[in-house]
Amino acid sequence: MSDKIIVNRLAGSIGAEIIGADVKNEHHWPIIRKAFIDFSVISIREQNITPDDHLTFAKRWGEINVNRFFNSLESYPNIAIVLKEADQTAAIGEDWHTDHSYDTKPAMCSILHAIDLPPYGGDTCFSSQYAAYDALSNKMKKMLDGQYAWHSSRHAFGETAKSDAQHKTGNFKNANKATQDALHPVVITHPLSGKKALYVNSGFTSHIKGLAAWESDSILSGLKQFIASTPRLTCRVSWEPNTLTFWDNRCTQHHAVWDYWPDTRSGERVSILGSERPAA
């Protein structure tokens, strides 16, 4: 691996690819950390790492957030398996979402190591929630600032979701433990950058506190549609073997593109616990 580290932007609003870095090299940490703060989504190529290396790198960011619902790597309960097998008729992460937003202290970042990849497709799209907030009109910003929304794991991982394709394949577990409900600001201030970001998502946000159901549904559906249909907010990560990609859940959403049926796609993911509740 070259001694020169190159950081290439992936898109105008979000994302960068790092060439020449080694996550096992502690001297590369300051460059990687700065890129993470600046670009929110970082893809590092050619990371031939072991699960222990993955965890060592993850612990530089903070305490591990153990996933309750994904199966884990054998002998590594802190590493979740993100798996889409050939015979499955649905894929994990097809909705735009923010990892663990249903927790009181959501995951600060997620770190995914590509393991098995399809011969084509299987990209992941990311959306900047800084850019999403900035693109709103001043009237909409004024209306949303100070509002709070509920996020829940129940509809995604709970007993009512057990009939869906992912549960049937055994990719998810502990449906009886999907009891998390968390109240977060609709607009949060990032603790590192100090910038405002929109913090609602299709995967886990259920309703805005204090509004009638139709009011909440109208606002949330509009915001979710805006995020899903606005390319200028996004970047796209094309996976290669041994790519390590990590993203800041406080200011991004992501969407796994399922365009590779009937092939398999898998990765090993470690999430980092947030040190504090999201704040307005």
Whole-Å CA distances, 95 to 146, 167, 203, 205, 253: 26, 16, 6, 12, 10
Structure tokens that stand for 112 in this block: 């995914």
By annotation, the residues acting in catalysis are 97, 99, 254, 269
Q: Which of 276, 275, 256, 274 is nearest to 266 (CA)?
A: 256
Contact 114, 49 (CB under 8 A): no
End-to-end CA distance of the chain: 42
* Burial call 86-124: b when 16+ CB within 10 Å, e when fewer: eebeebbbebbbbbbbbbeebbbbbbbbbbebbeeebeb
